[in-house]
């Protein structure tokens, strides 16, 4: 039996739901995903708090951590659990964004930041990646969490994404009208570059994202939930359509 924090998205992909409390009260949750590689080894995409049952589950899957080859951090502002998870699995190569490398420089980060082409090539056998265009990846305002490295796992038909996309199941009585929603992060308007062509560049990225999502059937998002066995591309398209007013206002102002 799986720990309560773990969802089997596919035999090769397990999503782990962790706790992350704002002000010590509001739990907005966070995630990590344990993914089997074609080689038979594993990587952990992102990190979160791990209870004993979840640690035992990872140990069992990875032969006590020996087959956990990498821990991959894909959101520049998700840094809280990088150290404790590295210390729990110190043999795994540690990857992070350039902000992880800057903010926690005393950890043994690999040279390739996860938003770079060099990193993408290193894991190209098992994953595809995408970084949003037309927007700031690491904005000066640390409250703007729109951008992350999106992780596509073709084998399990899964997209793992932090913040850029959010999925939520709505509570009663709202669920009787719209039971589930997928949306782009609400800070989009604040991270678009204030320059001519930014919206055009961003639109091109979203259209490419939708095309890349066509084979996918599972979506794992950080602070909300995991949605399984559905048309990911159509849902991303609907989320994109909800942002049209924001994009039109920005384009009218900046070109």
The string of DSSP codes covering 189-226 is HHHB-SSTTHHHHHHHHHHHHHHHHTT--EEEESSS-E
User: Which run of H or of E encompasses 254?
Assistant: helix 244-254
Q: What pTM value is reported for the model?
A: 0.94
10 Å CB burial of residue 61 (0-12, 13-18, 19+) is middle
* pLDDT score of 23: 57
185-243: pLDDT as tens digits: 999 999 999 999 999 999 999 999 999 999 999 999 987 778 999 999 999 999 999 99
The dotted CATH code for 6-254 is: 3.60.15.10
Question: Per-domain residue ranges for the chain?
Answer: 6-254
Confidence check: pLDDT of 80 > 70:
yes
* pLDDT score of 26: 57
């Amino acid at each position: 039996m799986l720990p309560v924090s773990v969802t089997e998205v596919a035999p090769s992909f397990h999503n782990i739901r962790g706790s992350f409390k704002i002000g010590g009260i509001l739990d907005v949750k966070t995630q990590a995903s344990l993914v089997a590689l074609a080689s038979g080894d594993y990587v952990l995409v992102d990190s979160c708090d791990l209870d004993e049952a979840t640690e035992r589950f990872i140990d069992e899957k990875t032969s006590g951590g020996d087959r956990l080859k990498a821990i991959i951090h894909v959101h520049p502002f998700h840094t809280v659990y990088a150290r404790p998870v590295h210390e729990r699995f110190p043999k795994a190569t540690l990857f992070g964004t350039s902000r992880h490398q800057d903010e926690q420089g005393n950890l043994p980060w690999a040279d390739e930041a996860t938003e770079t082409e060099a990193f993408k090539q290193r894991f190209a056998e098992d994953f595809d990646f995408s970084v949003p265009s037309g927007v700031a990846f690491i904005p000066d305002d640390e409250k703007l969490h729109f951008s992350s490295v999106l992780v596509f796992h073709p084998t399990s038909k899964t997209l793992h994404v932090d913040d850029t996309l959010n999925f939520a199941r709505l509570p009663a009585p709202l669920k009787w009208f719209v039971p589930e929603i997928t949306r782009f992060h609400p800070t989009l308007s604040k991270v678009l570059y204030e320059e001519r062509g930014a919206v055009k560049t961003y639109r091109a990225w979203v259209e490419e994202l939708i095309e890349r999502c066509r084979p996918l059937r599972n979506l794992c998002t950080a602070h909300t939930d995991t949605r399984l066995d559905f048309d990911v591309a159509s849902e991303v398209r609907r989320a994109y359509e909800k942002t049209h007013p924001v994009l039109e206002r920005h384009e009218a102002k900046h070109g």
